Amino acid sequence: MAEIIVVTSGKGGVGKTTSSASIAIGLARRGHRTAVIDFDVGLRNLDLIMGCERRVVYDFVNVVQGEATLKQALIKDKRFDNLFVLAASQTRDKDALTKEGVEKVLKDLAADGFEYIVCDSPAGIEKGAFLAMYFADKAVVVVNPEVSSVRDSDRIIGLLDSKTRRAEGGEPLPAHLLLTRYSPGRVDTGEMLSITDVEEVLGLKALGVVPESTDVLNASNKGEPVILEAESEAGQAYEDAVARLLGEERPMRFTTLEKKGFFSKLFGG
C-alpha cells in the first residue's frame, strides 16, 4: 500500500518544491519505490529542480484527462531507477485536475508497486492545493521562520484538519513541520522566530530544520536536489528529515550558533 505524503505551505517561495524533490530523492535513495507529482498546474517547477525538464512529453493533466497513460507520462530519474517524476502542465488551467482523476492516478501508482507518493502542492488554498492534500496519509508543512509564513501555514493546517479524506472520516491527518531558511544568528538577534516559537504557534513538532544556504539555489539551478550535496549542511538537514519521516531518531543539527573559540575571537576568525 502506497503512503501519500503532501508537501504544502501557506505561501510561495518558502522552499516547498525543493523540499518535495529532496524528500523524494531521500526516500528513493533508501530503496523505496517513489513517485513525486507536481500539482502546480500552470507553474511547473518540479521538473527543473529534478533536472528532467527536457524529457517532459506528457504531464499530469494529460493522464487525468485520458490523453496519455501513466506509463507514458512518468519520467524515470537518471540517478535512481526507483524514482519517477510526474510533471505538471504549463499550458492548462488549474481546473483541469479533478478529484476523480487524481484519485485514479494515485490508485494506479499504488497498484504499480510505488511505496511512497510525494505530492508537491501549490502554495495557498486554490484547487490544486486542495487536491494535493485531499488523499494524503501524511503532511509536511514547509515554513520559513517569519510571521507571515507562519500565519499563512496556520490556515493550511486548518484545512488539513478539516478538508482531507481522513478528516472527513474523523481521523486526524498526521502533520509535520519543516522549517527552511533557518538562521540561528538572526534568531539570536530577534530578527527571526525560533524553532520553539514556530512549533508553539502551529502546534506541530519540527521534522527538520534546514539552514539558510546558497547551496539550495545552486543545486536547484543545476537540476540536482540539494540532498545530493553530501557536504552541504542543507543537504544533510534534508537527509535527517527523511530519516525522521521514516521513524528514525536523529538529533536536530544546524539550529544553534557555532561558538567561536578563544583564538578565533582574538584573530577575528
pLDDT of residue 96: 87
189 appears as a binding residue in the annotation: no
Provide the CA 22 distance to its chain's centre, in angstroms.
7
Among candidate residues 112, 114, 133, the one with its CA nearest the CA of residue 122: 133
Q: For residues 161 and 86, what is the distance between their CA atoms, to the nearest angstrom? A: 27
Residue ranges of domains in the chain:
3-246
Q: For residues 104 and 122, what is the distance between their CA atoms, to the nearest angstrom? A: 20
pLDDT of residue 91: 81
3-246: CATH topology: Rossmann fold (3.40.50)
11 appears as a binding residue in the annotation: yes
pLDDT of residue 260: 56
pLDDT of residue 11: 83
16 appears as a binding residue in the annotation: yes
26 appears as a binding residue in the annotation: no
Q: What is the pLDDT of residues 159-191, one digit of tens each?
A: 999 999 999 999 989 999 999 999 999 999 999
Task: Give strand ranges (E) for the chain.
Answer: 3-8, 34-38, 75-76, 83-86, 116-120, 138-143, 175-182, 206-211
Q: What is the pLDDT of residues 128-138, one digit of tens each?
A: 999 999 999 99
pLDDT of residue 40: 93
17 appears as a binding residue in the annotation: yes
Cell output for 101: 482523476
How many C-beta atoms lie closer than 10 Å to residue 139's C-beta? 27
Cell output for 247: 521513524
What is the chain's Cα-based Rg? 19
Residue ranges of the chain with per-residue pLDDT less than 50:
none
pLDDT of residue 90: 86
14 appears as a binding residue in the annotation: yes
36 appears as a binding residue in the annotation: no
Three-state DSSP class for 96?
helix
Three-state DSSP class for 137?
coil
pLDDT of residue 93: 76
150 appears as a binding residue in the annotation: no
127-134 and 147-160 helices cross at what angle (nearest 10)?
60
pLDDT of residue 109: 98
Q: For residues 129 and 124, what is the distance between their CA atoms, to the nearest angstrom? A: 7
